[in-house]
Amino acid sequence: MIVDLPSSTTSAVNRKLVELRETGGVLALGRVLTLVVVTDDGADIESAIAAANSASREHPCRVIVLARGQRRAAARLDAQIRVGGDAGASEVIVLRGYGPLAADEPGAGMVAPLLLPDAPVVAWWPGEAPAVPSGDAIGRLAQRRITDALSAKNPIRAFEQRRAHHVAGDTDLTWTRLTHWRALLAAALDHPPYEAVTSAVVAGEAVSPSTDLLAGWLSNRLGVKVKRSPSSSGAGMSSVRLNRPSGPIELIRPDGRTGTLRQPGQPDRLIALSRRGVPDCLAEELRRLDPDEIYGAALTGVADIARGRTPVKVEV
């Protein structure tokens, strides 16, 4: 069910939520968090809502979409409430602010009265994000702040901003897309002959923040020299080579779908390694509300590689 509230107020939205709860059996009980989605009106809002609805099936939540409209228009708030089949396992509130209400501080003021009491707040920017998410008005309301450098107009610049201004609680979906790669590489190193890695090569598309992050992660966790090289084919991550005295471990994905794991003395293994979609990555990030220290360490590793410095191995 979709209820439109044109030229509304947050008080009217709250009253309508209570009415829907009392008359239609729509409940906010059991919601584990509030997910605030910040985007511009006219952007691909529906795909962001669809991703949030998909993630809500694993994490029941209230989704508040702040869609900032024209800043030169007259001050107006158009609201929409989605419940039932139109909201997955959540309730979706879409706020379209115009004029002064499209600015950051008023936007946070509209969101605050609609947050679930005593529940964590997660902010997600599916498109362009502020240079300093933790300093943004919405970011200050949240315990976790999720961005996606790959969706920015300039992914490399956005990624550098994330690295320069990272604080505990920040994360980026370019990191989440690497989960399967990291798991496979870590598992490969857990098998005999248990030799130390002497160096590594990470190859990927020239503009690929995820490739940079994986190189930074390996540099930080293994304490070895890692070379980040451009890939001759494919988009995103394409291959990782971990050099050891007995022979290299290689994980290669030339087509973006199927990976091949090669280890000395073992037959090649084909592995499903397709690129992860936004709903899958968002659901994973909502599984934890504490700071991701490993992501922060990977960003440090990226800086070490840029300076040509090999870090000391991190003992775990």
Q: What is the pTM of this model?
A: 0.91
The predicted-structure confidence for 157-174, as pLDDT tens digits, reads as follows: 999 999 999 999 999 999
In angstroms, the CA 100 to CA 60 distance is: 32
Q: Name residues whose C-beta falls within 8 Å of residue 300's C-beta, 6 or more positions apart in sequence.
A: 216, 220, 311
Domain ranges of the chain: 2-147, 179-307
In angstroms, the CA 190 to CA 55 distance is: 32
Compute CA distances 154 → 53, 149, 159, 209, whole Å. Answer: 27, 8, 9, 11
Residue 21 corresponds to which amino acid?
A: R
Per-residue pLDDT at 58 exceeds 50: yes
**Residue 70, SS3 per DSSP:** coil
The 3-class secondary structure across 219-259, one letter per residue, is: HHHHCCEEEEEECCCCCCEEEEEEECCCCCEEEECCCCCEE
pLDDT of residue 70: 85
In angstroms, the CA 154 to CA 169 distance is: 23
How far is Cα of residue 33 from the mean position of the Cα atoms in its chain? Answer: 16
Tokens linked to 66: 């702040």
Share of the chain above pLDDT 90, in %: 72
Q: How confident is the model at residue 26 (pLDDT cuts 50, 70, 90)?
A: low
76, 98 contact by CB (below 8 A): yes
96, 13 contact by CB (below 8 A): no
In angstroms, the CA 119 to CA 95 distance is: 20
pLDDT of residue 234: 66
pLDDT of residue 89: 66
The predicted-structure confidence for 172-211, as pLDDT tens digits, reads as follows: 999 999 999 999 999 999 988 889 999 999 999 988 999 9
pLDDT of residue 17: 87
Report the CATH architecture of 179-307.
2-Layer Sandwich (3.30)
Q: How confident is the model at residue 114 (pLDDT cuts 50, 70, 90)?
A: very high
Q: How confident is the model at residue 72 (pLDDT cuts 50, 70, 90)?
A: confident
Of the ranges 68-72, 256-260, 289-293, 306-310, which one carries the lowest mean pLDDT score?
306-310
In angstroms, the CA 146 to CA 126 distance is: 8
Q: How confident is the model at residue 250 (pLDDT cuts 50, 70, 90)?
A: very high
Q: Name residues whose C-beta falls within 8 Å of residue 130's C-beta, 6 or more positions apart in sequence.
A: 104, 136, 139
Q: How confident is the model at residue 43 (pLDDT cuts 50, 70, 90)?
A: low
Kindly state the average pLDDT of the residues 212-230.
95
Per-residue pLDDT at 313 exceeds 60: no
In angstroms, the CA 145 to CA 282 distance is: 11
Per-residue pLDDT at 24 exceeds 70: no
pLDDT of residue 309: 64
270, 260 contact by CB (below 8 A): yes
Kindly state the average pLDDT of the residues 293-306.
93
Read out DSSP for 162-211?
Answer: HHHT--TTEEEHHHHTTHHHHHHHHHHHTSTT-PPP-EEEEEE-SS-HHH
Per-residue pLDDT at 315 exceeds 70: no
pLDDT of residue 310: 58
